[in-house]
Amino acid sequence: MNDRETMTGRSEITAVAAAVRAGDESAFSALAERHRRELLVHCYRMLGSFDDAEDAVQDALLRAWRYRESLKDGAPLRPWLYRVATNSCFDAIARDPRRSALAARTASDAPEGAAPGPSEVPWLQPFPDARLELPAPRDTEPEAVVLSRETIELAFLTMIQLLTPQQRAALILRDVLGWSAQETAELLETSVAAANSALQRARASLRTRLPKPKPEWPSGVDATAAERELLQKYVAACEQPDLAGFTSLLREDAVMRMPPQPEITVGREAILRLMVDAGFGTEEFGRLRCVTTRANRQPAVACYALGKGDTTYRAMAVDVLRIEEGMISEVVTFGPEVFGSLGLPITLESQQGAGA
């Protein structure tokens, strides 16, 4: 931390203390609000759902004022807010029967073969890249480290939902945010030994669950241009429609998921067969128009369908793509309910046109 950041931190501590002493909720809320964006990312990692993360952050900011007296005099605001937000996430998990049941199964050390898998995370939602970007550079932002791509991608987000809440929090705090063992233990209100144990178990679980990462593109390739070309081909395959086009884009071992549906389709041929069975390319399925976007630091394609006799393309699905070695290795498809959070319109007029 440089001298300017230190001075800024001290200034915030002083301002927070003054607001608490004066009972000035507006001043306190304005100071806490500065951390909303990073708290949203933290809650999203904890919960795996953008909507639930927004609710958890709002709850945490309300709690922060309600329990402001628990902020020790002279203590920095940011780690305390993380503690409040993490507890809000723990409560959200406990209230949700799906999440609490999954946490109980994970904690029970189920025998090999019975461990939870990605299909048991039906609440998964994408995080819009637009909400990951700062409106303008600020020297006081301490959060650049929290937005590394590999810790916001859907594959990582899915797998950490399969950890117990304590393990998940320990992993995020230590390996993503870079907190010390002591800081992590204090936030989790446990011993350093217990926090380290949770971290080690989380790391071990991820090593067995997460596939070894492959490079997106071969060395020497212009990644930006290559991704643009791949997306153009994906859009063309959707809109023409062209199953052969998809064949050239998907890895042979590609995977498709469609939360909240539990089914996972494995293999290029199985994915193409699923598309055919769904009526892709038929008059009943409708014509498609696509718009490219980004979510979770990954390219995404929003598809709109034009039904027979209709004049309006209507939101159908968003495909978030993972690219490995120049081809698509995973397609995670979300329904029209995520269009709003991604800043996408629900309809497109047939004469407007849209594309990559």
Mean pLDDT, 10 residues at a time, over the chain (356 residues)? 53 88 90 95 98 98 94 90 98 95 79 70 96 60 57 94 96 96 96 97 92 88 96 97 95 97 96 95 92 97 93 96 97 98 94 45
Euclidean distance between CA atoms 50 and 80, whole angstroms: 22
Question: 331: which strand partners?
Answer: 256, 321
Domain ranges (residues) in the chain: 3-209, 223-349
The maximal CA–CA distance of the chain, rounded, in angstroms, is 68
* β-pair type (327-334, 298-306): unpaired
Q: Report CA Rg, the chain.
A: 22
Q: For residue 73, what pLDDT is reported? A: 82
**pTM of the full structure:** 0.90
What are the φ/ψ torsions at residue 320 (nearest 5 degrees)? -95, 125
Residues 6+ apart with CB under 8 A from 6: none
223-349 folds as Nuclear Transport Factor 2; Chain: A, (3.10.450)
User: Is 257 in contact with 333 (CB distance < 8 Å)?
Assistant: yes
Contact 93, 165 (CB under 8 A): yes
Query: Half-sphere exposure of 260 toward its Cβ, with a 13 Å CA cutoff?
Result: 8
End-to-end CA distance of the chain: 41
Query: What is the pLDDT at residue 136?
Result: 46
Quote the CA–CA distance of 328 and 332 in Å, as a whole number: 11
